[in-house]
Amino acid sequence: MRYPLGLILESAGYLISRKLRGDHRCPVMLSLQPLGGSGCTSVEVLSVAQCIAALEDCCAPIVAICGREPLGYTDIAALVREILTRGRHLFLCTDGTMIRRRLHMIPPYTNFFWNVRLDGTEHIHDKRAARRGLFVEAVDGIQAAKNAGFFVVVTSTVYPDTDVDDLAAMYEALHAMHVDGYMLSPYYPTENLCREGSARFREKMHQRFREVSERLSSYNLMTSPVYLEYLRGERELDCSAWGSPVYGPKGWSDPCSKHSFHYMKGCKELLEKAVWENYGRGLNLRCENCQCQEGYETAALLGVNAKAGDFWKLVAWQFGGGLGERRNGKG
């Protein structure tokens, strides 16, 4: 199993029930940012009560605690317990440096994942993060979490200049530590590029993902095959950021964490009133070079722009993986 069976069955049951009710937009993952987004300097923070209210407002079966380093949130242990006791599947996204210090506060639930960001081996990762020693601290946290019986996945950002050999070397080392799975996230340039610059950027990204897919396919990649086809430039998908709404101290991000033009008070208001048709490649200049997970991985999993055979491709992918296991063949 590439993901725990419980997560797959509960997510599928949730989506089927929502579709039968006639809901056209069904959030599948709630992104909670109790300290605000990464890079945010605001002193505003969410209380646990506000986070749980957002959880009840958005009944998505999967929750990600993300944004500015979540382990710096004073009430992180209480928030994690509140989410898990409600039966949600939780991914706590972290740079890994504080895992060892917080580990005793969170029991190893079967529906809880540490999601640690690592963009390469020590030299590359520390250089990307502009912080010396970050990689060693993160790996120490990963090892501590695995020793304590937790699920741990690693997310790596793929850049136009990513060294695929370096990424493969990191995966080899992490596999020896029994890391459970790996996610790939495309780099998003915040600056606007000219038409030719955008074309060059996308081609470089497509090439990197072709190389990464070939080189790392024997590991438990938790990035769906349909989304990977999109990242390799082999198909198109429509942005479905409504499937992964973001809630932070200012409210619900409209339309997504990359383009928070406005904030709304409720999840239902966001789903119904945001002009989703105005976002995506070819529709909005700021979306032109975005291939982010919350918009396009969501589209792949929800069957947006589906092709014949996509369902069985996803089924084979799910049952062809193994948490923490490396297969002899390529997947």
Distance CA 199, CA 13 (A): 40
For residue 329, name the pLDDT band (cuts at 50, 70, 90): very low
Structure confidence at residue 38 (pLDDT): 81
Q: Round to whole Å and give the CA distance between 84 and 95.
A: 21
- Return the CATH class of domain 5-319: alpha beta
Least confident of 62-66, 156-160, 254-258: 254-258
pLDDT tens digit sequence for 85-139: 999 999 999 999 999 999 999 988 899 999 999 999 999 999 999 999 999 999 9
**207-237 tens-digit pLDDT:** 999 999 999 999 999 999 999 999 999 999 9
Amino acid code (one letter) for 116: V
Q: What angle do CA 190, 60, 76 make, to 5 degrees?
A: 75
Residue 258: name the closest of 155, 185, 161 by CA.
185
Query: What pLDDT is attached to residue 330?
Result: 38
Tokens, residue 9:
């069955």
Q: Where are the domains of the chain?
A: 5-319
- At 16, the amino acid letter reads I
Q: pLDDT tens digits for 95-108? A: 999 999 999 999 88
Higher pLDDT, 43 or 149: 149
pLDDT score of 328: 52
Structure confidence at residue 260 (pLDDT): 67
Euclidean distance between CA atoms 270 and 284, whole angstroms: 18
Answer whether 291's CB lies under 8 Å from 188's CB: yes
Pair 241, 204: CB distance under 8 Å: no
Q: Decide: 302 and 28 in contact? Cβ < 8 Å.
A: yes
pTM given for the model: 0.94
> CB burial class (10 A; 0-12, 13-18, 19+) of residue 295?
buried
CA distances from 56 to 53, 86, 161, 267 (A): 5, 10, 41, 10
